[in-house]
């Protein structure tokens, strides 16, 4: 043993102190991390809640689904219709839907399971079908014909086959 080598006793004492300090700092960092995560969680829940805060048009997905399947297409005025469109894995109900050319169509759209995308090809209709939320979009088909409803929100295995049809019947005298 040379003069510069610490004695075994000193080394042992040093390690004991160093390990105690390490344990203290590890413990403190765990406390700090926990506080940070709890704080972040608190402020997120405080600001946004754990559910979608949309009173009024938010329903229970199953209730909305039951309503929708019984309502389908409803005449709401002389030249106006409401179409209750339910998105579900992996189809649109009802389909096909018949609406008249030139009428004001209000699409009420919801989902009974996961997010779907309600897009009607060849139109500007494009919105997300959200479970528990009834979205609406108003559209008038100027031309008769068959329009495809496609799902543009990835929703699982059969997403790409989730097709629906809207058949726009020619207006009387057109
Ligand atoms: Cu429904 Cu993609």
% of the chain with per-residue pLDDT over 90? 64
Cβ of 149 less than 6 Å from ligand 1: no
Given this model, what pLDDT does residue 172 score?
73
116 CA distance to ligand 1 centroid (A)?
Answer: 4
For residue 56, pLDDT over 70 is answered with no
What is the enclosing helix (H) or strand (E) of 90? none
Q: With bands split at pLDDT 50, 70 and 90, how would you rate the model's confidence at 171? A: confident
**Could you read off the pLDDT of 111-126 as tens digits, one per residue?**
988 899 999 999 999 9
CB atoms near residue 137 (< 10 Å) = 17
For residue 62, pLDDT over 90 is answered with no
Cβ of 151 less than 6 Å from ligand 1: yes
% of the chain with per-residue pLDDT over 70? 88
Measured from the CA of 162, which atom of ligand 1 is nearest? 1
58 DSSP assignment: B
What is the DSSP code string of 91-146? EEES-SEEEETT-EEEEEEEESSS-EEEEETTSS-EEEE-BTB-EEEEEE--S-EE
Cβ of 88 less than 6 Å from ligand 1: no
* Smallest CA separation from ligand 1 atom 1, residue: 116
**Could you read off the pLDDT of 80-134 as tens digits, one per residue?**
999 999 999 999 999 999 999 999 999 999 998 889 999 999 999 999 999 888 8
Average pLDDT over all residues of the chain: 87
Largest Cα span, the chain? 113
Given this model, what pLDDT does residue 54 score?
52
Cβ of 153 less than 6 Å from ligand 1: yes
Please, what is the Cα angle at 153 between 146 and 115, to 5 degrees? 110
96 CA distance to ligand 1 centroid (A)?
Answer: 17
Backbone φ and ψ for 34, nearest 5 degrees, come out as: -65, -45
Given this model, what pLDDT does residue 6 score?
75
For residue 5, pLDDT over 80 is answered with no
């Amino acid at each position: 043993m040379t003069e510069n080598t610490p004695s075994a006793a000193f080394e042992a004492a040093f390690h004991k102190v160093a390990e105690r300090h390490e344990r203290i700092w590890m413990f403190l960092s765990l406390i700090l991390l926990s506080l940070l995560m709890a704080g972040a969680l608190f402020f997120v829940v405080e600001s946004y809640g754990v559910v979608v805060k949309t009173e009024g048009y938010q329903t229970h997905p199953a209730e909305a689904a039951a309503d929708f399947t019984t309502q389908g297409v409803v005449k709401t005025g002389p030249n106006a219709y409401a179409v209750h469109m339910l998105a579900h894995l992996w189809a649109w109900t009802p389909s096909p839907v018949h609406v008249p050319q030139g009428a004001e169509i209000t699409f009420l759209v919801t989902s009974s399971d996961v997010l779907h995308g309600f897009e009607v090809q060849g139109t500007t209709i494009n919105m997300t079908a959200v479970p528990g939320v009834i979205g609406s979009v108003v559209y008038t088909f100027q031309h008769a014909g068959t329009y495809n409803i496609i799902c543009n929100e990835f929703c699982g295995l059969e997403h790409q086959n989730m097709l629906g049809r809207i058949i726009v019947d020619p207006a009387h005298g057109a």
